[in-house]
Amino acid sequence: MTLCPNCHDEATKGAMTKEDQWKYKSQPFNIVNGYAQGQLKVNHDIPVIHVGTMQLVHNGDIIIVDGEALLSLYVDNGRLELSAKLYDPNGQLLAEIDRNVWKSDDPFPWDIESSYQWLKIRHKSRAISLDLDLRKFPITLRAELWRNGQNFSLDPSQIKFDGVVKDFRMIHLCLVGLRFEVNSKSDALTLVPDPRFGQGLIISEADLETRIQKGIDGWKQLEKKASAS
């Protein structure tokens, strides 16, 4: 549960009863009043994100559904920034992260827990929409990304997609300079290189640290080729 400094001090010193704490948790002030927001911080500039057993290395949009980016990574002024849009299966926007600034303008999220380097959002009991940890390298993400009946499930073991293609899964790979694009009207799911580079890499390597390093090295080569052309 996230409390303001005054309330946190009150709870820590035993002046806030457990009954009041449960009341505030069930009816968070910011959410009840129609808003909740915060700032996230990453202390490095390497565009790598760990998703289950997958690693995604990219500076740009990573998951796009019907032209709308649901997950993106950026590097700006020596900092890694993340953007994401979290919809529920019915199309209700639960929360949005815009370059490390998160906000929820609607009381629908069931629970939000946050700090400067982590954010967890549940839209109902035990249903995690997002679990983001920025405290270590690479940053880690667990999420349920929905849009127009298309679902990317980024869980602790895999990237799974259900929509125009059923039960598509990827594990133990590093994708470099690549992005998922879904077109629900033409029933298409594609894995394509960022147009800036025209190419990308899929790295299969059993050792995790070696796989990540190969992904970073591959990314540097893509950037080098793009800047030289």
Per-residue exposure over 59-91, b if at least 16 CB sit within 10 Å of its own CB, e if not: bbbbbbbeeebbbbbbeeeeebbbbbbbbbeee
Domain residue spans in the chain? Answer: 1-33, 34-228
C-beta separation of 60 from 194 below 8 A: yes
User: Which tens digit of pLDDT belongs to each residue from 116-167?
Assistant: 999 998 876 667 889 999 999 999 999 999 999 999 999 999 999 999 999 9
Residue type, 41: K
For the cut 70, the answer to whether the pLDDT of residue 115 exceeds it is yes
Query: Model-level pTM?
Result: 0.82
Phi, psi of 73 (to 5 degrees): -125, 145
